[in-house]
A and B are shown apart, each in its own frame.
Chain A
Amino acid sequence: MPDVAFWQGNQAIAQGALAAGCMFFAGYPITPSSDIMEEMAKELPASGGRFIQMEDEIGSIAATIGGSIAGLKSMTASSGPGISLKQENLGLAYMAEIPLVLVNVMRGGPSTGVPTKISQMDVMQARWGCHGDHGTIAYSPSSVQECYEIAIKAFNAAERYRQPVIILSDEVLGHMREKVFVPPAGSYAVANRKRPGVKPEKFVPYLADPEDDIPPMASFGDGYRWHVTGLAHNDFGFPSAREEEVEKNITRLVRKIDRFRDDIVEYEAYEVDDADIVVVSYGTVARSSITAVKDARKRGLKVGHFRPVTLWPFPDKEIFQISKRAKTIIVPELNCGQMVLEVERAVHGRAKVIKKGLVNGEVFMPEQISSFIQEVA
Chain B
Amino acid sequence: MRSRYEIRFAGSGGQGNILAAFITAKAAALFEKGLYVAQTQTYGAEARGGKSQAQVIISREEIDYPKVISPNLQIILTQQACEYVDDTILGGRVICDDYYVHTLPRVDANLYSLPIVRTAREKLGREIVTNMVALGCAARVLELDEILRPESIKQAILETVPKGTEDLNTRAFEEGYDLFKHSQHL
Contact B66 A172 (CB under 8 A): yes
- List B contacts of A176 (CB < 8 A): 38-40, 66
Contact with A along B33-45 (1 / 0, CB 8 A): 0001111111111
User: Is B29 close to A, CB under 8 A?
Assistant: yes
- Partner of A6 from B29, B44, B45, B64 at Cβ < 8 Å: B29
Contact B43 A116 (CB under 8 A): yes
User: Is A34 close to B, CB under 8 A?
Assistant: no
Contact A178 B69 (CB under 8 A): no
- Partner of A177 from B25, B64, B65 at Cβ < 8 Å: B25
- List A contacts of B69 (CB < 8 A): 365-367
Interface size on B, residues (CB 8 A): 21
Contact with A along B132-162 (1 / 0, CB 8 A): 0000000000000000000000000000000
- List B contacts of A6 (CB < 8 A): 25-26, 29-30, 37
Q: For residues 20 through 77 of chain B, which have their beta carbon under 8 Å from a beta carbon of chain A? A: 22, 25-26, 29-30, 36-45, 63-67, 69
Q: Which of A15-23, A205-213, A282-290, A315-323 sits within the interface?
A: A282-290
SS class of chain A's interface: helix, strand, loop or mixed? Answer: mixed
Q: How far is the CA of A115 from the CA of B63 in the complex (A)?
A: 26
Contact A116 B64 (CB under 8 A): no
Report the minimum CB–CB distance from A249 to chain B (whole Å): 44
Q: For residues 109 through 130 of chain A, which have their beta carbon under 8 Å from a beta carbon of chain B? A: 115-116
User: Is A50 close to B, CB under 8 A?
Assistant: no
- List A contacts of B45 (CB < 8 A): 31, 115-116
- Partner of A290 from B30, B42, B64 at Cβ < 8 Å: B64
- List B contacts of A365 (CB < 8 A): 65, 67, 69
Contact B66 A366 (CB under 8 A): no
Q: How far is the CA of A172 from the CA of B55 in the complex (A)?
A: 12
- Partner of B29 from A179, A284, A291 at Cβ < 8 Å: A179
Q: How far is the CA of A4 from the CA of B30 in the complex (A)?
A: 7
Contact B40 A172 (CB under 8 A): yes
Q: How far is the CA of A178 from the CA of B64 in the complex (A)?
A: 12
Q: How far is the CA of A291 from the CA of B57 in the complex (A)?
A: 14
Report the minimum CB–CB distance from A12 to chain B (whole Å): 13
User: Is A363 close to B, CB under 8 A?
Assistant: yes
Contact B40 A179 (CB under 8 A): no
Q: How far is the CA of A169 from the CA of B69 in the complex (A)?
A: 23
Q: How far is the CA of A150 from the CA of B65 in the complex (A)?
A: 20
Whether A177 touches B30, Cβ cut-off 8 Å, given contacts A6-B25, A291-B65, is no
Q: How far is the CA of A284 from the CA of B63 in the complex (A)?
A: 12
- List B contacts of A115 (CB < 8 A): 45
Report the minimum CB–CB distance from B55 to chain A (whole Å): 10
Contact with B along A261-289 (1 / 0, CB 8 A): 00000000000000000000000100110
Contact with B along A171-189 (1 / 0, CB 8 A): 0100111110000000000
- Partner of A294 from B26, B39, B44, B64 at Cβ < 8 Å: B64
Q: For residues 309 through 368 of chain A, which have their beta carbon under 8 Å from a beta carbon of chain B? A: 363, 365-367
Report which residue of B37, B40, B65 has the largest number of chain A beta carbons within 10 angstroms of its beta carbon: B65
- Partner of B37 from A178, A284, A291, A366 at Cβ < 8 Å: A178
Contact A116 B44 (CB under 8 A): yes
Q: For residues 227 through 243 of chain A, which have their beta carbon under 8 Å from a beta carbon of chain B? A: none
Whether A175 touches B41, Cβ cut-off 8 Å, given contacts A287-B64, A287-B65, A365-B69, is yes
Q: Look across to chain A and name the residue whose beta carbon is closest to the beta carbon of B36.
A: A179
Q: Look across to chain B and name the residue whose beta carbon is closest to the beta carbon of A176.
A: B40
Using CB atoms and an 8 Å cutoff, list the residues of chain B in contact with chain A: 22, 25-26, 29-30, 36-45, 63-67, 69
Starting from the known contacts A172-B67, A177-B37, A366-B65, 12 additional A-B residue pairs (CB-CB under 8 Å) come to A4-B29, A6-B30, A6-B37, A176-B40, A177-B25, A177-B29, A177-B39, A179-B37, A287-B63, A294-B64, A365-B67, A366-B64
Q: Which 7 A-B pairs have the closest CB atoms?
A: A6-B29, A177-B39, A291-B65, A291-B64, A179-B29, A290-B64, A287-B64
12 A-B residue pairs with Cβ-Cβ distance under 8 Å, sorted by A, are A4-B30, A6-B26, A177-B29, A177-B38, A178-B29, A179-B36, A287-B64, A287-B65, A288-B65, A290-B64, A365-B67, A365-B69
